[in-house]
Amino acid sequence: MLEALKKRVFEQNLELVNRDLVLYTWGNVSGIDRETNLVVIKPSGVDYDTMSAEDMVVVDLEGNVVEGKYKPSSDTATHLEIYKAFEEVGGIVHTHSTWATTMAQIGVDIPALGTTHADYFYKEVPCTRPMTKEEIEGEYEKNTGTVIIETFKKRNITAIEAQSVLVNEHGPFSWGESPEKAVFNAVVLEQVAKMAYNTMLMKNLLNKPCGMDQTLLDKHFLRKHGPNAYYGQK
């Protein structure tokens, strides 16, 4: 079942290791088949060294395991909320990558501070509000997804304008039209977060405001995305 997607999801889980985004088994990648609404996701806590494509778990959008000998990632319910809310999303990644997680621990957004950000994220990468005691003690992983969606709705940001989020005191989730694009966005996010952290640190010390020119932001995002994009071989 979904053998091609399993292989892709498996390979993107390994790509997280190659790109130095995860220690041990800390990350997880999933992909969705929009025709059957079935999600392929990494099993929970299985070593990357021994993991194979067949170990990927297939779940439906309610979280029932449809196929697989392992339990799915403990973050599965968060992935499912994102798939249900954002129809454009074909793949999702969760990591505890160093700089994105540091920003999540500080509890601040990653603001647009330069064209590297603007090439991939049109808005700030938002940091969610702290979760309530009820949300944490209830269906925690599902509620993590709910709070992510709430953040995007309240701020009026689409899933395309910021293909990543920082969960407060936790870490980043990234997504994209495919598992490959989701991992790409997670790699970009980490680099953008590292530069944003160090930019903010110095700007705060120098009392310079943290923002960037809106016209420049528009220009860079729109030359890579949208109907008039002219970057690459389009």
Burial class (CB in 10 A: 0-12, 13-18, 19+), 149: middle
Q: Quickly count: other Cβ atoms within 10 Å of residue 87's Cβ.
A: 9
Which segment (79-87, 156-164, 173-181, 184-192) binds its own copies by CB under 8 A?
184-192
Nearest to its own copies of 32, 79 (CB atom):
79
- Single residue of 136, 154, 155, 158 touching its own copies by CB under 8 A: 136
Q: Does 48 bind its own copies (CB under 8 A)?
A: no
CA dihedral of 152, 154, 156, 162, whole degrees rounded to 10: -20
Burial class (CB in 10 A: 0-12, 13-18, 19+), 146: middle
Nearest to its own copies of 63, 114 (CB atom):
114
Distance CA 42, CA 94 (A): 11
For 57-65, the CB contacts below 8 A with 24+ separation are 58/1, 58/2, 58/6, 61/37
Minimum distance from residue 208 beta carbon to its own copies (Å): 7
Q: Does 212 bind its own copies (CB under 8 A)?
A: yes
User: CA 99: distance to chain centroid?
Assistant: 14
Nearest to its own copies of 62, 205 (CB atom):
205
Structural element, H or E, at residue 66: strand 65-67
Which segment (58-66, 80-88, 133-141, 148-156) binds its own copies by CB under 8 A?
133-141
Q: Quickly count: other Cβ atoms within 10 Å of residue 204's Cβ.
A: 11
Q: Does 131 bind its own copies (CB under 8 A)?
A: yes
Which segment (28-36, 77-85, 148-156, 193-201) binds its own copies by CB under 8 A?
193-201
Q: Which residues are known to be catalytic?
A: 119, 231
Residues lying near its own copies in the complex (CB under 8 A) are found at 23-24, 26, 43-46, 70-71, 74, 96, 98-99, 101-102, 104-108, 113-116, 130-131, 133, 136-137, 140, 169-171, 184, 187-188, 191, 194-206, 208, 212-213, 215-216, 219, 223, 230-233
